Structure 1
């Protein structure tokens, strides 16, 4: 709360405004990006953050993603744009250009949405982004985890805040009921649009939402499941801390690889072994989700038997004394971008950036142009998948392979700190 009593002075809106005011504890970002679909949760988010930022002299920037999956989506984006114009909030609509979609549609749409928003935020100098997830979403996620037979990590639900892609993200209303946000909109005369896909029972989340209503007579409510996920999140935090401590004892990183002492690793016990393996896979490949349990079990069996393996875009090589985990070459084939953006989700390059330059994997051919690469002490496997600066087919720099030319490359988050937050 501020010294003048705000938002205590805001009546029924006070608690919701307080959550907006404290979305990033210890920080008062001058600009906050708000993801707005036009639904009730995100419209409440937009209005509450517009009020909070206006009070402190900050700015809100709004963004809507049109996934091009429904004809109504374009109208919904225009609805949001008009609402933002009324509020004096700058708004952008992003388009997900995609071909035929196979597999889990909602998961692919979610990944695309976060990637598009992250790119938009970086391009506009925005370092903080909020989304409108509620306690209802958290309860639905918990039930979906039960269907997948998830463990602690899968049942602990969504995080309230996290850092990713160089941004700070927050879900300030993750403990707030959807009906409370709709009540806010109603008393403030704010409208919203209803996405018809929210009633489509082909989607697991919609079926989970329906199941929640059926469970209410048993006393299994959104509020109680929210408490359960909060308790599990505390247990998850303790397990992550333990895994980070153990990893510090048995694992080291070099040039993007994770090298694990095999004998010491084998004495850790199943839960710590599993967490460190999954953490290494996700750190190397920046995977959004952990691999399926069956795949991890097969990897553990391969390690125990001394067999090399691949999983989740990573190559795992087993030697007598160590387990060496590296990015798989084919996973970075064709991964290319500007030198001033994160490459492969984790590498940041520093040097004389120029629009005519790009960054992609060094590759075997590029490594042959680095005469002194052996002097670096890095393995060939690590260097061929390391970031290099190119001008067309001309190699300009390969910082990890000894060809700096004014460039450096570093990973944005270390392995052990990554284990603490993932």
Structure 2
């Protein structure tokens, strides 16, 4: 006789185990109206208790006519259950590039802004074991490395917010069975069965592989193994970083020929970490972009990638600096964080703003004494009053101002490795 607890009890126990450690004072949950996220919302309502207020948010990307009705369905359920809910709308369907990638990035930004307004410290997402398996196969088809094949992180930080995935070891079928037992209706996104999309085709592949023993559970365990390998490599990258990396006024100097040498994969990780540190990017560059960078460096050429300018320093190391084109149109108040990294201190005034120095570097007579190369100075923060340059701290023209890396960005290892 089986003594396995009922489905609802098992699911609640798993979700509670994921949420309980370091639970935020206020918790948000992203709910699309699909079965996974609606089940997550209902489970969270039963495991968080009155000590952790719960709020829900739905993002309508405006890409499908059904999305508005799905958001209304979620809003109606939340009203019935007494859960505060807000629908956010994205109007960026006209953005250039990969539409699905743009929509995903916008969803994270919109939710993070919502959480900030609501004083919410973490947001739960409804990714399941099936999502882990499907993502593994999709990335396998792209010949991804260890990081790409590793399972999704159960907790990660993005846009100043903690994101939680408490359903990563739970199957989609179990969540739907749970909803049926609770009498809760969900919305099926038609794109999930549309074979024009990679994920829909991948779901079919999982069904074909299952008779061979390669099901979502197996693929999930492989992804977990990849995650363990990823974490081990990151551990050794952190150990080598102090020996191979030096931060110079916001730039990263990377020794690619240390003695003794580091394995190629550790060298790659340090390079990627340097690019993320300088650019503030949320994700590493594509492998094809790194291949182009390596080719340029082999020819002793400088190269731009990920909003960074990469060149050979006189001592043989690589210098990774911010790319001028990435910040030339970026302006902000003199007392606010600039480019996600720099804080300027000085005689603030409302009419002053921070911009990249650019060609105004020629107005800085002491620029050569700084020892910084021209690309670094072009992209460095400077203070302006209209068209008049007031200060360029990194270019030897402080005029009572200093420029320092924000404390959350100043330590290379802590911020990116």
- TM class by shorter-chain length? 0.7 to 0.9
Tell me the equivalent position of 2:285.
291
Q: Which runs of 5+ in 2 are unaligned?
A: none
Select 2:413's aligned residue among 410, 413, 416. 416
Tell me the equivalent position of 1:171.
165
Q: CA deviation at 1:356?
A: 6.6
Select 2:40's aligned residue among 22, 38, 45. 45
Q: Deviations over 1:326-350 (max 9, x none)?
A: 1111112334567898654x43748
Q: CA deviation at 1:392?
A: 6.6
**Do structure 1's residue 139 and structure 2's residue 133 form an aligned pair?**
yes
Residues 249-328 of structure 1: matches in 2 within 5 Å? 249-264=243-258, 267-321=261-315, 322-328=317-323
What is the SS of the residue equivalent to 2:65? coil
Indicate the larger mover: 15-24 or 205-214.
15-24
Mapped contact 1:42–1:131 kept (Cα < 8 A): yes
**Do structure 1's residue 12 and structure 2's residue 7 form an aligned pair?**
yes
2: distance between equivalents of 1:191 and 1:348?
A: 49
Q: CA deviation at 1:409?
A: 4.7
Q: CA deviation at 1:384?
A: 4.0
2: distance between equivalents of 1:338 and 1:125?
A: 24
Number of equivalences? 409
Q: CA deviation at 1:400?
A: 6.0
1: distance between equivalents of 2:301 and 2:90?
A: 41
Q: CA deviation at 1:386?
A: 4.2
Q: Deviations over 1:361-413 (max 9, x none)?
A: 43326767878877877665445434567777677887766467698650524
**Do structure 1's residue 106 and structure 2's residue 103 form an aligned pair?**
no
Against the structure 1 CA distance between its residues 348 and 257, is the aligned structure 2 distance closer, same or farther, given a 3 Å change threshold? closer
Against the structure 1 CA distance between its residues 29 and 359, is the aligned structure 2 distance closer, same or farther, given a 3 Å change threshold? farther
Instruction: Answer with 1 or 2: which has the greater Rg.
Output: 2
Q: Which runs of 5+ in 1 are unaligned?
A: 1-9
Indicate the larger mover: 241-250 or 261-270.
261-270
Against the structure 1 CA distance between its residues 12 and 157, is the aligned structure 2 distance closer, same or farther, given a 3 Å change threshold? closer
Q: TM-score, normalised by structure 1?
A: 0.85
Q: TM-score, normalised by structure 2?
A: 0.86
Q: CA deviation at 1:259?
A: 0.8
Mapped contact 1:134–1:174 kept (Cα < 8 A): yes
Q: CA RMSD in A?
A: 3.3
Against the structure 1 CA distance between its residues 154 and 297, is the aligned structure 2 distance closer, same or farther, given a 3 Å change threshold? same
Tell me the equivalent position of 2:209.
215
1: distance between equivalents of 2:297 and 2:197?
A: 37
Q: Deviations over 1:176-202 (max 9, x none)?
A: 111111122111121111111111111
Against the structure 1 CA distance between its residues 269 and 11, is the aligned structure 2 distance closer, same or farther, given a 3 Å change threshold? closer
Select 2:151's aligned residue among 149, 152, 157. 157
Select 1:204's aligned residue among 190, 198, 202. 198
What is the SS of the residue equivalent to 1:263? coil
Indicate the larger mover: 335-344 or 127-136.
335-344
Against the structure 1 CA distance between its residues 329 and 130, is the aligned structure 2 distance closer, same or farther, given a 3 Å change threshold? same
2: distance between equivalents of 1:146 and 1:223?
A: 16
2: distance between equivalents of 1:265 and 1:110?
A: 42
